[in-house]
Amino acid sequence: MTNPFFKNTGPHDISYLLKSIDLLNHNFSDEKVKDIKDLHSSQLGEITFFHSKKYEYLAKVTKASFCLTTENLKSILPDTCKPIITSKVLLHTAQITKIFYPDSVTDDFDNSVQDIIKTEYKDKVKFGKNILIGSNVKIGSNCLIGHNSIIEKNVSIGDNCKIGSNVIIRNSLIKNNVHILDGCVIGKKGFGFFPDKNSNFRYPQVGIVIIEENAEIGCGSTIDRGSLSNTIIGKNTYLDNQIHIAHNVKIGENCIIAGQVGFAGSSTLGNNVMIGGQAGISGHLKIGNNVQIGGGSGVIKNIPDNSKVMGYPAKDIKNFIREKNDR
């Protein structure tokens, strides 16, 4: 599911899309393209992208009609998906995404906000001083919002939620019984861009943040919304203070993550994962179920289920202890 809050300007002719990004060496009929999505989510009549062999398992079964990819990866795609060959897969994906969702690139301040006293929630929510509420906001029953917080446009908050002071939320779906502590920023655009002719082309962030039931987000944490998919925090997962979650990260259920842990984009955690403070998780990795990662570790490769790792680069904890004792 891409962001339901951004307007899709499609459908567009495939020839128009390719001409717009200077890919003129393809000869397709004027087929309509309805949307752009990732390999997993894309459907017939949509365009996707495939830039790394680590996603071969998704590329083989994609339902997209078109795919931006490279010469050496095109043979992996199913016959129903027409390859569009380019040496700049990610840049051209970003440019086409911007055509479909031109409003997704910037996060200017929300001038639709107004004092909560002027909204329908003045008698439905317990709130502190200086609370601002944007357009297209829904807040459930028995919720509390602390001082100086801003619920910007396109936010849904479930029942029995507690939002601390100095919190900013945008483009997010917050389920029931979620606790977001002071100073968090949730749902802003992720850090994705490509150098292009001496300038940085920012990747549109079309996804949202989803925080499932009974999760807790610690003070000063930041959770970026997804690019072409969503950023998800699973049920009953607790984040300590000052944690950064980059775009497209998906954290499973019942996870415990200590302070100052950082996640690069598009990594996935299973259920029941525990991570010690100040660990770093590189992008596009898969961390299995029941994994334990020691504090200060640097994770740069996939970790299978039931593993215990520590160090930089993170390795099996028994090997880490043995090497440390041998010094």
Report, as residue numbers or ranges, the catalytic residues.
247
Q: What is the DSSP string of 145-157?
A: E-TT-EE-SSEEE
Name residue 41's amino acid.
Answer: S
For residue 199, count other CB atoms closer than 10 A to its CB: 9
CA atoms in the 13 A half-sphere facing the CB of 72: 4
Tokens in use for 255?
């996870």
CB 71 within 8 Å of CB 89: no
Written in H, E and C, the secondary structure of 127-145 is ECCCCEECCCEEECCCCEE
Give the burial class of 38: count Cβ atoms within 10 A of its Cβ; 0-12 exposed, 13-18 middle, 19 or more buried.
buried
Q: What is the DSSP string of 88-132?
A: -HHHHHHHHHHHH-GGGS-----TT-EEGGGSTTTTTSEE-SS-E
What is the four-CA torsion angle of 157, 162, 164, 166, rounded to 10 degrees? 20
Q: Is the peptide bond before 195 cis (omega within 30 degrees of 0)?
A: no
Strands 231-233 and 250-251: parallel
